[in-house]
Amino acid sequence: MSVGHAETVAAWRDVLGLCRLQSDETVAILTKREANPRNIEAAKHAVTDLGAQYFCLEPHIGRTSLFDTTPAMDALRSVDLVIDFLGIHLLRGGEQEALAQAGTRVLYAVEPPETLIRLMPTIEDKRRVKAAEACLKGASTMAATSDAGTDLTVSLGEYPILCEYGFSDEPGHWDHWGAGFIATWPNEGSARGTVVIDRGDIIFPFKDYVQSPIRLTIEKGYIRDIAGDFDADFLREYMRQFKDDEAYAVSHLGWGLQPRAQWTALGLLDKAQTNGNDGRAFYGNFMFSTGPNTDAGGRRDTRCHMDIPMRRCSVSVDGRPMTVKGEVVAEGQKA
Ligand SMILES: [Fe+2]
């Protein structure tokens, strides 16, 4: 169902309120040509309604990266909040880290207004994600199992924790409207066991539901074998094309905590219309991923990155259950 301008502006006012936008603050609206014009118009309107100032920045990223375009980076560092329709985290040039260090709040929004409104974040979302963060702080192991055959263990402690709760209310915090999950990265070389991507699990960037199980054998932090039927073939061939051994590393791991995100949403939307946020954040999923860990301060930089949210897994941290068969069970994280 399509929503109108007034409803979209109201949603933007609400989310900017959660981002604690004050009338004496300045916002940079970072755009690109393909960004959703309904969101851009509504964001401008909402910032004005709240009495704050804004300017728009649409960088041309050619031979020079945004990071190396000093006047643009100075402008972004100088504002209180960046509304990001461009996706600075996808540029991987150091832009995201630079804004974090400058204390700039960043809110990334990419889904169409209808999805953003359905996934409107709440203070409760933050509370649940922070409760999950508390479980990961200082933890030394994470494990995931499933009836389909997943049995994965990793060691923790070398890398930071990634908290996404849908709005950016603290200096230097980056967030993503529609998100709601917790993740961290395994210690180098520590991931071991088996991951069975089962029928109905989702593979990004394919934005597709798996139809036949894929069995991954993982040793010393890397996928060593990909077995199964058509879906395994497809995944194996896609990854092989990067000609990069680092593509096979295990990357961020975590679980979904957004109860309004829908496992089925991806089946209803045109692939080009969505970043698949529902699929990434749906409540109780085990998020398995592969490839880089530069986001976490690691040195593994590969262009092959797969996000694979899986259903019906049981995730535990230091032996304490977080989810059981896809249901969130940990105290403080239940919706
Ligand atoms: Fe990812």
pLDDT tens digits along 197-229: 999 999 999 999 999 999 999 999 999 999 999
Q: What is the pLDDT of residue 232?
A: 98
Model pTM score: 0.94
Q: Average pLDDT for residues 11-19, to the nearest whole number?
A: 98
The residues near 74 (Cβ < 8 Å, ≥ 6 apart) are none
For the cut 90, the answer to whether the pLDDT of residue 74 exceeds it is yes
Distance 214 CA to ligand 1 centre (A): 19
- CB distance 197 to 308 below 8 Å: yes
If phi > 0 it is left, if psi is from -120 to 50 it is alpha, else beta; for residue 208 that is beta
pLDDT of res. 134: 98
Whether residue 231 has pLDDT greater than 70: yes
User: Rounded to the nearest whole angstrom, what is the distance from the C-alpha of residue 51 to the centroid of ligand 1?
Assistant: 35
92 C-alpha to center of ligand 1: Å? 13
Dist. CA 305 → ligand 1 center (Å) = 7
Select from 41, 49, 40, 2 the least CA-distant residue to 21. 49
Which residue is it, tokens 């604690």? Answer: 20
> How far away, in angstroms, is 250 Cα from ligand 1 center?
11
Residue 1 has pLDDT above 80, yes or no: no
Phi-psi region at 74: left, alpha or beta (left = phi > 0; alpha = psi -120 to 50): alpha
What is the distance in A from the centroid of ligand 1 to the CA of 150? 20
Ligand 1 centroid, distance to 52 Cα (angstroms): 33
| Higher per-residue confidence, 182 vs 89 | 182
- Distance of CA 212 from the midpoint of ligand 1 (Å): 22
User: Among 21-30, 123-132, 248-257, 269-278, which is the least confidently predicted range?
Assistant: 269-278
What's the gap in Å between 123 CA and the centre of ligand 1?
24
> 287 C-alpha vs ligand 1 centroid, how far in Å?
9
Q: 334 alpha carbon to ligand 1 midpoint, in Å? A: 23
Compute, in angstroms, the gap from residue 289 CA to the centroid of ligand 1.
6
Task: Give the pLDDT band of residue 90 (cuts 50, 70, 90).
Answer: confident
Residue 270: band (very low, low, confident or very high) from pLDDT cuts 50, 70, 90? confident
* Span from the CA of 189 to the centroid of ligand 1 (angstroms): 19
Question: What is the whole-number distance in angstroms between the Cα of residue 295 and the centre of ligand 1?
Answer: 9
Give the Å distance between the CA of 208 and the centre of ligand 1: 15
pLDDT for res 91: 87
pLDDT for residue 272 is more than 90: no
Question: At residue 153, what are phi and psi to the nearest 5 degrees?
Answer: -130, 140
What is the average per-residue pLDDT within 41-60? 97
- pLDDT digit string, tens, across residues 127-155: 999 999 999 999 999 999 999 999 999 99
